[in-house]
Structure formats: structure tokens, C-alpha cells
């Protein structure tokens, strides 16, 4: 996998995309493919043995000792949209939207909802897939292209810490914890900066703030669409089908690893093979990934029990209010 400095390699997508304000998925997913699949990103469910999960109001009123006791008892696991719908008495279908699936009231918080059976459901991640899910999908994609060893991955430039920049503020901050006695020099330096920087920054020369990617890539050209810009890398379906693809990704988060975090890398927002036989799109505001390609590929994805996928028709509307089945 290598950085692609010439973004014109992705210009072919522009001809297949609708106006960004179009209500259909084709503002971000290219038209013109025989079939489409919607991969529903996994949600998360939390439960307690023998009792419902406390509501936020109940939690706030609970003694700290009781909170700590319950935290040790919490059981968290991934949840499918189908199991979520079963808990809330709703229906999964190709145009289902999460906030309707969990019966969110007007102005309610759809990110965390407690089902009638007392379990707490947390909304899926938007704009990204876990590395193991990427690998599972890619194993299908390998079988449906004549160029499984050549392709392009596009990453949205706005992910925190991905790009470096000229300025006074670091690309991102890492929390550190001292011994509680105020003896941590890093903590004191941070406090000092928080007091002085607003005044000093006006007179200081901007300096390069490191990101995950190098300065050359950070300042390099982008593939730009309306409201979105992407950094491009060569990346094949076969490489991403490897369970350890993160370790070879040029956008691997090495600064995070230096601070003790496990290896990680953002999943591609757009992925296509050299022969353009399919396109995978994880739009940053979508809680699902759409894959355009052949009917055979879509059928294989939808039949895989390791992922939750549904067939989509061309022109489908995935707008947040498009779920008429679960309305009301």
C-alpha cells in the first residue's frame, strides 16, 4: 500500500455521482452498477444480570458505591440490527434508519436507548468499520474482480489526527494521568499553555503539528468532491482481506501506538479495484456501508452470516427520515 499523489485516479467517480443535495444514496455512492448491498454496521448492547440497565436519571441519583458495583456487572456485546428490532418491536428492512428502529421520540437521544426488556442499545459507528469486518467483506470482493491485487482506498481528510498542519494547536491530544499530587510536569506544562497560549498565539509563528500521515502527504493533493476531500492510497481487496491488514496500512496510527494504544487504522471510506467492477462506500455520516457491484457479489454478501447485509435498489434513499416502515 502506497500513497497516490495524483488524485485524478478517482475522478471517474464524479461522473457517476448525483448532486450532493440529492436525497438518494447516489450523492455518495456511484450509479450504474447492476446491484447494491447495504452492510449494517454493528451496534452494541449492554445488559445487567437479573435487572434492567438504570436510566440516566436513575444512574445520577445512585450512590457511587452502587454505580461501581454495577459497572463490574455490565455485560457488553455487539448487536445486530435484527436483534435490536426484535427488542424494540420494529422491523429491519433495506431503508431502515437506526433512530426509528429504536423508537426514538422527537428530540430524544437516539444514540443510547433502553429497550422494553431493560437492555441498553448504543448506536452503530458512523463512517467506519472494524478491521475484522473490513477483512470479512474484502474476502468477498476478491472473488468479484479481475484485479484483486490492485485498487485504491480513499480516506476522508477530516478524521482526527490523520493529517498534520501548520498552526499552534496539536492535531490531537492524548490524555495522560498523573499521580494525583500535582507532580506531573507534563500536566503542569499543559496548564501553563492553557493560560498563556490565547495571548501568545497571536504573535507566534505557526509550526508544523504532526499527524498520522507525513507532511508530504498532509500537504499533498486530494480527491475532492462537494463537501468531501480524500487522501488516496493504493490498496487491493486481497491486502484488506488479510486479518492483519492494519499492520501494513500506511495510515496506521503509529503516534497512538507510541502512547500505548493498540495498532489501529481507519477503514477506507471509498474502496475500488483497478477494473472498477465494484465500489465500497463508507460515507462518514452513514451508519452503514454501501457496496455497488454484480448481482452475484451482492447475493454472496447478503448470505454471509458474519455480516448483516441487505440488497438495495438503485436510487435508494438512505436519508435519516426515509424509514416509513418504522415511522410513528
- pLDDT attached to residue 261: 82
Higher-scoring residue by pLDDT: 235, 55: 235
φ, ψ of residue 3 to 5 degrees: the values are -65, 140
**Model confidence at 142: pLDDT above 80:** yes
User: Which residues have a Cβ under 8 Å from the Cβ of 166 and sit 6 or more positions away?
Assistant: 206, 207, 208, 209
Give the model's confidence band at 177: pLDDT under 50 very low, under 70 low, under 90 confident, else very high.
very low
pTM summary value:
0.81
Q: Where are the domains of the chain?
A: 3-41+126-163+211-312, 43-122
CA distance between the termini of the chain: 47
Select the more confidently predicted residue: 49 or 138.
138
- Residue range 306-318, pLDDT digits in tens: 999 999 999 898 8
Summarize pLDDT for 57-92 with one digit per residue, the tens. Answer: 776 777 777 666 666 666 678 899 999 999 999 999
Give me the DSSP letters along 291-312: EEE-HHHHHHHHH-TTS-EEEE
CA dist 125 and 298 (Å) reads 22
Phi, psi of 263 (to 5 degrees): -55, 135
SS3 271: strand
- Give the pLDDT confidence of 202-233 residue by residue, as tens digits: 567 777 677 888 888 888 899 988 888 999 99
Number of C-beta neighbours around residue 227 at 10 A: 9
Q: What is the DSSP string of 6-73?
A: -GGGGGGGGGG---TT-SSGGGTS-S--SEEEEEEPPEEEEEBTTBPPPPHHHHHHS-HHHHHHHHHH
DSSP helix/strand/coil, 116: coil
Amino acid at each position: 500500500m502506497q500513497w497516490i499523489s495524483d488524485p485524478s485516479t478517482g475522478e471517474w467517480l464524479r461522473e457517476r455521482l448525483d448532486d450532493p443535495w440529492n436525497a438518494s444514496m447516489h450523492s455518495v455512492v456511484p450509479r450504474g452498477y447492476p446491484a447494491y448491498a447495504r452492510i449494517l454496521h454493528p451496534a452494541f448492547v449492554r445488559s445487567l444480570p437479573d435487572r434492567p440497565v438504570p436510566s440516566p436519571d436513575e444512574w445520577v441519583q445512585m450512590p457511587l458505591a452502587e454505580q461501581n458495583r454495577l459497572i463490574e456487572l455490565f455485560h457488553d456485546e455487539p448487536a445486530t440490527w435484527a436483534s435490536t428490532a426484535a427488542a424494540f418491536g420494529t422491523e429491519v428492512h433495506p431503508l431502515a434508519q437506526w433512530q426509528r428502529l429504536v423508537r426514538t421520540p422527537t428530540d430524544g437521544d437516539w444514540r443510547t436507548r433502553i429497550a422494553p426488556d431493560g437492555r441498553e442499545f448504543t448506536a452503530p459507528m458512523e463512517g467506519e468499520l472494524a478491521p475484522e469486518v473490513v477483512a470479512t467483506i474484502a474476502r468477498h470482493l476478491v472473488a468479484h474482480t479481475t484485479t484483486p491485487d490492485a485498487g485504491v482506498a480513499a480516506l476522508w481528510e477530516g478524521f482526527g489526527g490523520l493529517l498534520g498542519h501548520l498552526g499552534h494547536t496539536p492535531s490531537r491530544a492524548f490524555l495522560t494521568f498523573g499521580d494525583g499530587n500535582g507532580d506531573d510536569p507534563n500536566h503542569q506544562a499543559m496548564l501553563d499553555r492553557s493560560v498563556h497560549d490565547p495571548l501568545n498565539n497571536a504573535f507566534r509563528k505557526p509550526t508544523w503539528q504532526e499527524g498520522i500521515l507525513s507532511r508530504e502527504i498532509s500537504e499533498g493533493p486530494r480527491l475532492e468532491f462537494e463537501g468531501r476531500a480524500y487522501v488516496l492510497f493504493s490498496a487491493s481487496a486481497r491486502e484488506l482481506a488479510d486479518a492483519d491488514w492494519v499492520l501494513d496500512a500506511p495510515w496506521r496510527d503509529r503516534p497512538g501506538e507510541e502512547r500505548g494504544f493498540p495498532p489501529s487504522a481507519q477503514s477506507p471510506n471509498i474502496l475500488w479495484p483497478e477494473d472498477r467492477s465494484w465500489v465500497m462506500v463508507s460515507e462518514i455520516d452513514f451508519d452503514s456501508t454501501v457496496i455497488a457491484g454484480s448481482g452475484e457479489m451482492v447475493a454472496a454478501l447478503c448470505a454471509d452470516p458474519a455480516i448483516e447485509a441487505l440488497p438495495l435498489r438503485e436510487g435508494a434513499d438512505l436519508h435519516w427520515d426515509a424509514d416509513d416502515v418504522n415511522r410513528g
